[in-house]
Amino acid sequence: MAEDAIWVLADPRAGTAAQALGVAERLGRPFRTIDLAWGPLARVPWPWPTLMGLAPAARAMIAPPWPRLVVSAGRRSAPVALWLGRRGARTVHCMRPGFGAAGFDLLVLGRHDAPAAAPNILPILGATHRISPAILAAARAAWAPLLGALPGPRIALLVGGPVRGEGMDPAVAALIAREAASLGGSVMATASRRTGAAATHAMAEALRGTPHHLHAWGDAAPNPYRGLLAWADAVVVTGDSVSMLSEALMTPGPVLIADPGGLGPRHHALHESLVAAGEAAMLGAPAPASRAPRDETARVAAEVARRFLG
């Protein structure tokens, strides 16, 4: 299949772009990435297919020959995808599009959004992402010198923070770190921009005396995030990040959700969907006895291939 036969509309927000890129990568076929950039009109909730939200440079990339398949994610890319659908492309869209749901050939929506049943809707747990078995195998080998030396069981601690805050409450961060340390022989932790310096310091203090490795946001050393997933016997992840929760499901051990504070109803609905499916538990509650890795991105890619690329 020619490279231009599949296009991925990559939103500037990395987490949104990863949902579309993850599906395309798992198709195992060449694809072209269209890096979207937004102009002032992107704020308008366009009720029809259009390229009006794109900045001029990005709009110039949308030119024939038109693709056979378009994979997109996020509200702002939806009008662009539907515009290409009017030119013969089959359209696969991740996340709620904001309008025109019936116009997409396939919508990939999280169960936590309670999507209505429809032939073009594929409900999944969490969200699609770019973590694959091959990536985890490579990360396990790459991070063996650092993480393999820690005593087991190894607890991956993935920490974000309040979605619209100035950083996590340091007392909350310390409590989560102590609870993670109580689960195993060592803790492999990484903090994000939303965690904040004060909360990261509190985590470091809470982990004193516990074998651990902590990667703070902005550290010069590479972030071992994928290595943490690859080496984890269990994962503790704050519930603010749909991406981290979804990627944690790729591990075979227990997934425990920690509340960083400041979360809204949609986040709590996501947590409830994972717990109800037996894929996770809230931190402090009994963890599922056993579970296999949950690869929703592979399931989506298989459905896309079956419907549109056979």
List pLDDT tens digits, range 264-282: 999 999 999 999 999 999 9
Nearest to 73 by CA among 114, 113, 117, 104: 104
Q: Averaged over 83-95, what is the pLDDT?
A: 98
Q: What band does 288 get if pLDDT is binned at 50, 70 and 90?
A: confident
- Give me 256's structure tokens: 């425990």
Sequence-ordered list of residues with C-beta below 8 angstroms from that of 113, at least 6 positions apart, any chain: 96, 266, 269
Rounded Cα–Cα distance for residues 192 and 13 (Å): 15
Q: Is the pLDDT of residue 115 over 70?
A: yes
* Cα→Cα distances 30→8, 24, 25, 27, Å: 11, 8, 8, 9
Q: Which fold has domain 3-129+298-308?
A: Rossmann fold (3.40.50)
- Across the range 186-192, mean pLDDT stands at 97
The full set of domain ranges for the chain reads: 3-129+298-308, 133-282
pTM: 0.94
Average pLDDT over residues 143-172: 92
On the question of a cis peptide bond just before residue 65, with omega within 30 degrees of 0, the verdict is yes
So what's the pLDDT on residue 286?
A: 86
- pLDDT surpassing 70 at residue 181: yes
Mean pLDDT in residue range 83-111: 96
First to last CA, the chain: 11
**Which of 75-84, 202-211, 259-268 comes out lowest in average pLDDT?**
259-268
- 212: Cα within 13 Å, side-chain hemisphere: 25
The CATH superfamily assigned to 133-282 is Glycogen Phosphorylase B; (3.40.50.2000)
Q: What was the pLDDT predicted at 287?
A: 79
Q: How many CA atoms lie within 13 A of 261 on its CB side?
A: 14
Q: Does the structure show a pLDDT above 70 at 165?
A: no
> 131-140, 175-184, 228-237, 279-288: lowest mean pLDDT where?
279-288
Binning pLDDT at 50, 70 and 90, where does residue 291 land? confident
* pLDDT value of residue 1: 63
Instruction: Tell me: pLDDT of 227 over 90.
Output: yes
Share of the chain above pLDDT 90, in %: 89
List, for residues 3-38, the tens digit of each pLDDT value.
679 999 999 999 999 999 999 999 999 999 999 999
The mean pLDDT of the chain is: 95
Q: Which of 290, 294, 146 is nearest to 231 (CA)?
A: 146
User: Quick check: do 3-129+298-308 and 133-282 share a fold?
Assistant: yes
